[in-house]
Structure 1
Amino acid sequence: MGDSGVVARLGNMKALLGIVAGAGASYGLYKLISREGKRRNKKKAANETVRSSQQEEVKVQPGSLLAKVSGLDVVCFRPGEAVADDIIHQSPNNLEPQHLNMLLSCLQTGTDPSDRCRILLTLGNAAAFTVNQNLIREFDGIRIIAAFLSDPATEVKIQTLNALNNLCMNIQNQEQIKIFVPRVLELIEMSPVNSELQLGALRLLTNLSVTDKHQHLLKGAVTLLLSLLVVSNESLQVQTLKVLVNLSSNPDMIDDIVQAQAPASVMLLFDKRTAAAVLLRLLTFVGNLKAWRPSAQVAEELRRKQDGLFRVMLDESSQLHSRLLQLLSHPDAEIQAQPWKSQTGHSSNDGFSDSGRLEFSHCLNSIVKRS
């Protein structure tokens, strides 16, 4: 029993010494690892310091890839209105196809009238360039823009007419714009006299009637135009006469023009007090009509219509003869004596036609003789 107890105690002592030795070895190993880790960290920190100082010494060369990349903005999502606002502030001739498409999309989804006006203004300015005229048509933009002819806001309708007016400079676009002529005429008839709305509508009709192709759409509008002529201011009178001169330059339109109702007060415009710009176009309009020679039978039928343009301006009983004689002594030098010529064209947009090129003095004399 005694020997076995001694043996047991010796075994326990060895186990204890083993544990102590193991713990010491573990601690020594930990210290070794810890010391090595600290040494590596110090070395790494030193390297980072050197690398940082080297980076600070690097200078970004202008025009380099690094310079370009460092100047780029972070791309993030923005609402359509914000993007459209950026596009609006760009120059019209710098707009890309995707910009035009985005503006048309914003125009359809926007609800603020002021935003619509700004977008329409931008599209209208862009439409001054042929490439944009074609792109807007290809994006179905004419239909989208023309829809705002019925917008409740007056300013939106004005900007719509201005945009369509520029788009109308393109012959292919006219094929789509002609569909909206009835609405444009309705705006002229229903809008306040001398308003920007009427002026914008007349500008559009002027461009649309430059060629003979779409003039027939205005056959029923001659009475409206003549009525507007006697109640409007100078600017509107000039624009109205541009349309009438265009129509009267087409022989196929004369029959419809002379049958239209005309207010007797239109004769009062043949007066020295009438603005020269109005008077010159008015005389060209009459000169175009006087070039038309109806048969005796047709003239007799037209004469029976008391308020018809033929009876008011072209018949032998008209006051036109005496009023034209007074204009031969007009105080304006251009009207009184100087010969003048003018012609229709997009470049001048003066409303005169090729067939309406008349020397003024010859125009007066020929009209007086025929009367």
Structure 2
Amino acid sequence: MKYLELVTTKNMVTAATGAGVMFLLAKTILAGLKSPRYKPEPIPLARLALDHHESTQAKDSGALQGLLHSLNRKLDDYSKNMILHGITRCVYLLETEAAACTYEDIKLVASFMDDPDMGIKIQALHALKAFTGVWKFKNRIQEFVPKILEVITNNWDNDVHIAGLRLLNGLQVPDNVHALLKKLMSSLMEILQMGSALAQVQVLKFLTMLVQKEVLLYDIMNCQVHPDFLNLFQPSRPGNLLYELLVFVEQLTEGRLAPQYQLTYQQYNELSLHEVLFGNDSRIADHLLSLVIHPEEEVQIQACRVILKLQLEDREISSNQNPDAAFGSFLAESNIGSPLASSTIISKH
């Protein structure tokens, strides 16, 4: 079944008639394909008493090194937790001292991802995230990506998921972990479906980054999902979650259009992500149309972009024509610019 046919059901015509959808699509086209940059979420930093450090503005106060030197595995859980918390605070506030740290300091902090206490794991992830802001450490911290993935996928804890994925989203994923990612893809997809809203937002950002790696695209597409996966598109869900979900679907659509991907025969499992989103029986179009009228403008625009991409994809895959020609054909069929144009981006009469 063609995507153009999927989005021409009677229900959709009723749901998105008139110039409203046409206005949104035109606005989307004019806006281009720009997407807002990733903005790190603020990290809560509890007040920590540092007897030897009265002013965070003082140069070379020694506060950060003092905390690092006092950190060891023999401390009680409370002390480890608070010292790691203090390290995170100092890295953000004392740039000069953070830049003076060594790789051994980073390894010490990273070693606490192995601590049995969940709170200490989380604090270690927060501290590593803070150190990614120091340019000389960003590439070195990539060496810990396998361990970070292990912590995320071996512990069902929303705070661990959020902290670990926020850290990963600030790093480049090295090629040598692709094989590991293929093994862990089902666990990441489970976080997307069953995690908290904040964890879902972070895992969507991570999966969107992975989709752009050709070697991982099929594994993401063929990953098993729950039968009710499309419930993630319910308009009642948080706007930032819906936005990231739509960006993810857009990237999947673009990945399917890649020449290398189209040249290879792909066979998908019945309940794979591909079949749920792009299969003949997919109901994705209904859900997209429900988001075109979402109260948040970013969600509206992104939903229109995905609809546009699906229609252009249908033309390109079926006729293998030039994308610019397909786009022109689409505009002509939709009568965009005509004051009396009806909602032909959704249906054809």
- Normalising by structure 1, report the TM-score: 0.61
Q: Hey, what does 1:165 align to over in structure 2?
A: 129
1:131-210 mapped onto 2 (5 Å cutoff):
131-138=96-103, 140-194=104-158, 196-209=159-172
Shift of 1:156: 1.7
Structure 1 residues 181 and 212: CA distance shift in structure 2, 3 A = closer
Provide Cα deviations, 1:306-363, integer angstroms capped at 9, x if missing partner. 2333223233443323322332233444433xx4xxxxxxxxxxxxxxxxxxx55333
Identity of aligned residues (%): 26
**Equivalenced residues, count:** 261
Cα distance in 2 between the residues matched to 1:207 and 1:200: 11
1:126 is paired with a residue of what secondary structure?
helix
Give the partner amino acid of 1:179. E
Cα distance in 2 between the residues matched to 1:313 and 1:113: 45
Give the partner amino acid of 2:131. L
Shift of 1:186: 2.7
Shift of 1:206: 1.4
1:370 is paired with a residue of what secondary structure?
helix
Shift of 1:115: 1.8
Q: Which one of 253, 272, 282 corresponds to residue 290 of structure 1?
A: 253
The reply on whether 1:275 has 2:238 as its aligned counterpart is yes
Q: Hey, what does 1:86 align to over in structure 2?
A: 51
Q: Which runs of 5+ in 2 are unaligned?
A: 1-48, 315-349
The reply on whether 1:330 has 2:294 as its aligned counterpart is yes
Structure 1 residues 334 and 104: CA distance shift in structure 2, 3 A = closer
Cα distance in 1 between the residues matched to 2:68 and 2:122: 17
Structure 1 residues 264 and 99: CA distance shift in structure 2, 3 A = same
| Higher relative contact order (Cα pairs below 8 Å, separated by 6+ residues) | 2
Contact 2:208 2:248 in 1 (8 A): yes
Q: Hey, what does 2:72 align to over in structure 1?
A: 108
Shift of 1:241: 1.4
Contact 2:292 2:303 in 1 (8 A): no
Q: Which one of 230, 243, 255 corresponds to residue 193 of structure 2?
A: 230
User: Which has the larger helix fraction?
Assistant: 1
Give the partner amino acid of 1:291. E
Contact 2:60 2:96 in 1 (8 A): no
Considering only aligned residues, what root-mean-square deviation do their CA atoms show, in Å?
3.0
1:292-311 mapped onto 2 (5 Å cutoff):
292=255, 293=257, 298=264, 300-303=265-268, 305-311=269-275
Q: Hey, what does 1:356 align to over in structure 2?
A: none
Q: Which one of 279, 303, 324 corresponds to residue 315 of structure 1?
A: 279
Cα distance in 1 between the residues matched to 2:126 and 2:247: 27
Q: Which runs of 5+ in 1 are unaligned?
A: 1-83, 340-358
Cα distance in 2 between the residues matched to 1:106 and 1:370: 58
